Structure 1
Amino acid sequence: MANQCRRALVTGRVQGVWFRGSAQQQAKKLGITGWAKNLPDGRVEVLMCGDVASLDSLQQWLKKGPPLARVDDLKVSEESHQAFSEFTTG
């Protein structure tokens, strides 16, 4: 199946708990490209591109995050496909 991209906004205790670094590790394991960054309002934004099954897996992981995180809400939307060479954090 063709690759697609999704944008996720993660709300909760998701900054300062190694959320972006853990998301990067998960994405690399799944062959997903894109990025994760902290937002000024305390959320983390993730743009992820890959095959549907891998995106579904990362989306499930984003609902929980790493052990020190607390995810209160996850909003995911489809995005137009973009090409990235890797998954980065910013």
Structure 2
Amino acid sequence: MANHKSALKAHKQSVVRAARNSSVKSRVKTFSNKVVAAINNGSFESSVQSLRVAESEIMKSVTKGVLKLNTAARKVSKLAKKVKSLEARAA
């Protein structure tokens, strides 16, 4: 355990940040899973709607410093590609 005052404070800060980061990551996963669930149901309209919400949530995580921009873009692109393939199957 930390012995110096500054080390104790740094440890407290890291615990708070870790909790915040895990919360944001959990939200990203939840909304991404909602998109996948909508795709599995075969509903194009609901999958587009949930993709829009998930994209917003993923980009929010970038502004909070939880995800890097390229990682977020990759996640959004992957979800959009799945939704687009659903549109092709429906047509």
Query: If the length of structure 2 is used for normalisation, what is the TM-score?
Result: 0.31
Instruction: Give 1 or 2: higher strand fraction.
Output: 1
TM-score w.r.t. length of structure 1: 0.31
**Structure with the higher fraction of residues in helix conformation:** 2
Q: Which has the larger radius of gyration?
A: 2
| Structure with more contact order per residue of length (Cα contacts < 8 Å, sep ≥ 6) | 1
